[in-house]
Structure 1
């Protein structure tokens, strides 16, 4: 009886240790995959910009069927140089751009509307902070 009790506690101990290692091993990956959001308006938004920390991907989402294209903008923390990425695919579509920043870089993102690729962004939302 004593031997089977030892085996059971050993097996349970190994299972608990394995579960702990798995949980601790996945926690940093989940934290690194944070997604930052910005909208062009607080009420009834029609454009959304997302920055995915994991992979440093910038997305422009057209979330309203209004005939306008969308723009994802980013800049380094409070810089005057603004980078714009236009997406005119229409409602329900997503533009995607693979960017590259040094780990821990602080940037700001926002969403805007734009009617053509050579047009100008308008109806932009406020700047939201993001971190690479």
Structure 2
């Protein structure tokens, strides 16, 4: 093979490697959604409310999935011992309340969903804390 042929192959190989390396950081911005659904308790049905965290945009959503007269209160925190924040949605079935945040890409996020009726959080409907990742990659 001529020197020119070897240089072209070497240059092509280096270019392909550069493309692969350049694409790797984009994986850190994975668009992943994490969910916590309410559980059945008394007259309240399972999945009547949802707290969702979208890693792309660091967006939290408290969504009402059922016409039961109760609102949805979602909780979120960064790290297992972090400060607990809440997001309430009393808009009715098919609505979501949204909160956009700016979290560190290395953050581990925990979310939880409960129903709230007449200002009273129905503890029996609360989901467990669900773990998510701000970069979308576990």
Do the two structures share a fold, i.e. TM-score over 0.5? yes
Contact 1:60 1:96 in 2 (8 A): yes
Aligned to 1:11: none
Aligned to 1:38: 36
Match of 1:74 among 62, 76, 79: 76
Aligned to 2:11: none
TM-score when normalising by structure 2: 0.68
Contact 2:30 2:56 in 1 (8 A): yes
Computed over aligned residues only, the root mean square deviation of the Cα atoms, in angstroms, reads 2.7
Match of 2:103 among 94, 98, 101: 101
Runs of 5+ in structure 2 lacking a partner?
1-18
Residue 78 of structure 1 deviates from its aligned partner by 1.6
Aligned to 1:85: 87
Runs of 5+ in structure 1 lacking a partner?
1-20
Aligned to 1:51: 53
Match of 2:114 among 98, 112, 115: 112
Count matched residues: 109
Contact 1:71 1:121 in 2 (8 A): no
